[in-house]
Amino acid sequence: MGNDRADLDRTLPIIDRKFPRMSAVTVAPVRDRLLEAIRREFMPLRFGAEMLARAAKKTPRAARNWLSDKNAPDAEALIELMASSENLRNEVLMLVAERQHARGADTCPGSKSGCDAGLFG
């Protein structure tokens, strides 16, 4: 008799831990565009990986992984990069605007400010 958990783990799909619960179709273009924007900003620089690491408050190894397309930055690093680079901030905002346009009028239920007092009280 084998280890049932090991068999189960082999059958489950591997999910990218940076973008959990999203389909690969949705994540790949966003990830690729984000990493491309990071490369455009930092690859031409002589010490680009070190400067990227400093801007994101992460290790140079993490920055080299981003530049080589092995990993993508986590949310905290992305916010730091957006704060330090106007080009990266504009690219992310463009991605958000494209996503909003694709959704049309659909918004999250909690995004409306104020509420109808008759519903809750």
Is position 76 within any domain?
yes
| 72 domain residue, yes or no | yes
| Residue 59 domain flag | yes
Note whether 53 and 60 are within 8 A (CB): yes
Q: Count up the domains in the chain and report the number.
A: 1
Report whether pLDDT(64) > 80: yes
pLDDT in the model for residue 50: 96
pTM of the model: 0.63
Residue 115 domain flag: no
**48 or 106: which carries more pLDDT confidence?**
48
pLDDT score of 15: 53
Enter the DSSP assignment of 114. Answer: S
Q: What is the pLDDT of residue 99?
A: 87
91 belongs to a structural domain: yes
Report helix, strand or coil for 74.
Answer: coil
Number of other CB atoms surrounding residue 75 within 10 Å: 8
* Closest listed residue to residue 42, CA positions, set 58, 27, 28: 58
In terms of residue numbers, what domain contains 85?
Answer: 22-102
Label residue 92 by pLDDT band (50, 70, 90): very high
DSSP letter at 72 equals: -
pLDDT at 24: 46
pLDDT at 110: 67
On the 0-12 / 13-18 / 19+ scale of CB atoms within 10 A, 24 is exposed
Mean pLDDT of the chain: 78
Residue 16 lies in a domain: no
| CATH (domain of 38) | 1.10.260
Is residue 13 in some structural domain? Answer: no
Asked if residue 113 belongs to a domain, the reply is no
Q: pLDDT by residue (tens digit) across 10-46?
A: 555 555 444 445 444 455 688 999 999 999 999 999 9
